[in-house]
């Protein structure tokens, strides 16, 4: 299955919300998600590894780690 990263803050926030809802339904405790970068953290130069891309990758890794723990 291909990795599909969030492509916006709203998508990343939706991932966090979904994972929290799933954890609540399972009566599970999950780690806090990665801290969201502030808009001023981005230089807006179109960097290949923008702070937001790093954040989206971190959100995906956070989600995958939780889901892997649930499969155990």
Cβ-proximal residues to 50 (8 Å cutoff; 6+ apart), any chain = 42
Give the predicted TM-score (pTM) of the model. 0.90
Name residue, tokens 């939706």: 14
23-49 pLDDT, tens digit each: 999 999 999 999 999 999 999 898 888
Q: Please give the share of the chain, as a percent, with pLDDT higher than 90.
A: 83
Is 2 contained in some domain?
no
The yes-or-no verdict on residue 1 having pLDDT over 60 is: no
Q: Are 14 and 25 in contact (CB under 8 A)?
A: no
Is 1 contained in some domain?
no
47-69 pLDDT, tens digit each: 888 999 999 999 999 999 999 99
Domain count, the chain: 1
Cα torsion at 47, 52, 54, 56 (round to 10°)?
A: -140
- Token couple for 63: 């989600």
Is 3 contained in some domain?
no
Is 29 contained in some domain?
yes
What is the span of the domain harbouring residue 43?
A: 9-71
pLDDT value at position 47? 86
């Amino acid at each position: 299955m291909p990795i599909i990263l969030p492509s916006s803050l709203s998508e990343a926030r939706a991932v966090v919300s979904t994972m929290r809802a799933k954890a609540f339904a399972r009566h599970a405790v999950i780690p806090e998600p990665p801290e969201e970068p502030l808009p001023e953290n981005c230089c807006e130069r179109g960097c290949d590894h923008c702070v937001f891309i790093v954040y989206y990758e971190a959100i995906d890794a956070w989600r995958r780690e939780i889901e892997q723990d649930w499969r155990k």
